[in-house]
Each structure stands twice: as structure tokens, then as C-alpha cells.
Amino acid sequence: MLVVALTDGRLSHPHSRLFPADRLIALRQAEQVEAMRLLTRGTGEIITLGFPDQGAPEAQADRAAVRDQLLHLIDTRNVTALWTTWEHDPHPDHRCAAAIARQVADARAGLGFWRYPVWGRFIEDAPRAGDVLYRFDGAPFRSEKRAAIDAYRSQMTDLIPDDPDGFVMDARARRHFLESPELFIGDGNHV
């Protein structure tokens, strides 16, 4: 499994003095590596593009450069499916990633293309016409999923105590992500 991380997560705790941006970025990357190790039993790989959190590329030239990087990876790694966040997710970086991924999928006929809502699970917006919503029961993998979620200590605990505006997932949302089926959106063009 290959994961491409578009942004660096530096704004999860924007006012922390204990974890300034460079230290927070390193922590968030280490958490991602640990979660990947747990989910793939050490076989996964992460490529970090390093755009700032909430600073995913907006300019068409920058998006085209990311698209080209992804197309190169697909071609050289024999990738058969692309998974990305949903284009209607409330987080701007998630919408940007989905837009770039759509360009990639449209450029490679036969590439499987799947999107998933993250925060979009909690809004009223629906998939567009032609999309199909698939539910995957993750219950058999709940212990691995819990371990991977727990790997994100900066997001799940009070590890960073000096930023009252910092993001820590509340218990209800955490339980939802752990216990609810995984949701994937496919369309007839790339499934």
C-alpha cells in the first residue's frame, strides 16, 4: 500500500508553544508512519508532499504538478486503484485532494477510483447522481483500526496540553469512526 500525504498537519494545534510547527509536523508524520505500520504490518509506504495544513494547492499549475507526480507513481508502481477523500468533505484539504485525484482518475482509463467521506459523514450532502455508496463492515479489523486511531496521540489525547484551540477528537466521533462501517463512493466510470 502506498499513501501520499498532501498536507503536513501543522494546524491541528496552532497555538502550542510546546509543539511549534516544525515539531508538530514531525510528530504528525511519526503518528502517520506508526498507523501505517499497524494497518499494513509494516508493508506500507508513505510519500509526503509537504503542503501546509489548510494550504493544499489551489493554483492550477500547482495542482497539475501534484497530478503529474501521482500519475508517475501510478505508472511506475503499477497502481490499480486510487482512494481519496470525498469532494464534498467540509475540510478544504480533503476537497482539494479529491479534485486532484479526479483529474488523475480521468487521465487513466481503467484505474479504480474510490472516495470516502471523513467529516462529510456528519453532513446532509449526498453523493452525486451516478455515484454508488458502498459500506464495508470493518468489525473484523476493529482491533487494528483501534490501534491505528490510537497512534494519532496528538489527535486522541491531551498530549499537547497548551493549546485550548487544538484539535482533539471527542469520544463520540472516535466511537463513530471505530464502530461504524467504512463508507466508500464509487462511480460507474472507474469502479
Say if residue 33's pLDDT is above 90. yes
pLDDT at 124: 81
Instruction: Tell me the whole-structure pTM to 2 decimals.
Output: 0.92
User: What is the count of structural domains for the chain?
Assistant: 1
DSSP lists the bridge partners of residue 4 as 47
Q: How far apart are CA 80 and CA 189, in angstroms?
A: 14
pLDDT digits (tens, 9 = 90+) for 170-181: 999 999 999 999
Instruction: Give ∠ CA 106-190-102 in degrees, rounded to 5.
Output: 35
Work out the average pLDDT over 53-66.
95
- Show the domain range for 66: 2-187
Say if residue 188's pLDDT is above 70. no
Work out the average pLDDT over 89-97.
96
Sign of the Cα pseudo-torsion (186, 188, 189, 191, in order): positive
CATH number of the domain that 86 lies in? 3.40.50.10320
At 61, the pLDDT band (50, 70, 90 cuts) reads: very high
Burial annotation 120-156 (CB, 10 A radius, 16+ → b, else e): beeeeeebeeeeeeeeeeeeeeeeebeebbbbbebbe
Q: In degrees rounded to 5, what are phi and psi of residue 117?
A: -80, 140
